[in-house]
Amino acid sequence: MNPKINKAYPLIHGFTILEILIVLLVLSIGMLGVAFLQSQGQAFTFTAYVQTQSNMLAYEIMDQIRANVNFAKSNVEPIPCGNGINTCQYGYVANVKPTVNQNCDTSLCTPAQLRDYDLGNWYDRLESSIPGGTGVISAQVIGTVPNQVVTYYVEITWRLREEERDSASETKTIRWVMQI
């Protein structure tokens, strides 16, 4: 080696190692930031997906109610919920999937069978498209026949995070209102 170069630049080797360590530190902080942004982006995408699915399902069941409007309007009467505290309404009202005995796509159905068929299909799609999704449909009657107005409430609840499987995880509920 040339002794003049070593004497002129005695600390060059130390600066190079220090510079490399600083660059690695800056790069690792940058990569952590990118990883965080990626995970946040996935969470926001999941939230947007679930909200879109819940909107589509809510409007779908409201369309089914409007398609069977005479039954949905005239067959809303108070019945016990089973808890003895308050009353539920009968019509397109449900908080659990009904038993479906007939396919109304291929055969004629009574309005009550059509209601059960619509609700059964709706709950199937709710379970398959929204993780931890549950739905409740309730009704409120104002007035008397033939001038009564029925307000239907559709509520869909789901887990905020896809990976959470326990019942204590955070949930979100959206409610839609429709009058017939």
pLDDT tens per residue across span 11-41 = 555 567 888 889 999 999 999 999 999 989 9
Q: How are the residues of the chain apportioned to helix, strand and coil, as percentages rounded to the nearest 5?
A: 50, 20, 30
- Are 98 and 120 in contact, with CB atoms under 8 Å apart? yes
Handedness of CA 161, 167, 155, 70 (dihedral sign): positive
Identify the bridge partners of residue 171 per DSSP, sorted by sequence position.
159
pTM: 0.71
What kind and span of H or E run contains 180?
none
Cα–chain-centroid distance for residue 116? 23
In sequence order, which residues have a C-beta less than 8 Å from that of residue 173 and are 6 or more positions away? 155, 156, 157
What is the rounded CA–CA span in Å between residue 165 and residue 170? 11
Residue 108: what are its φ and ψ, rounded to 5°?
A: -75, 140
Q: Would you give the end-to-end CA distance of the chain in angstroms? A: 94
What tens digit of pLDDT does each residue of 127-139 get? 889 888 888 888 8
3 state DSSP class of 122: helix
What is the rounded CA–CA span in Å between residue 39 and residue 161? 12
What is the rounded CA–CA span in Å between residue 170 and residue 30? 31
- Reference 154, options 145, 180, 18, 111; nearest CA is 180
What tens digit of pLDDT does each residue of 94-124 get? 667 778 778 888 889 888 888 889 988 999 9
User: What mean pLDDT do residues 37-49 have?
Assistant: 89
Picking from 66-70, 118-122, 141-145, 152-156, which range would have the lowest pLDDT averaged per residue?
Answer: 141-145
What tens digit of pLDDT does each residue of 164-178 get? 555 556 888 999 999
DSSP 145: T
Confidence of residue 86 (pLDDT cuts 50, 70, 90): very low
Q: How much is the mean pLDDT over the chain?
A: 80
Q: Is the pLDDT of residue 84 over 50?
A: no
What is the rounded CA–CA span in Å between residue 25 and residue 17? 12
Residue 16: what are its φ and ψ, rounded to 5°?
A: -65, -45
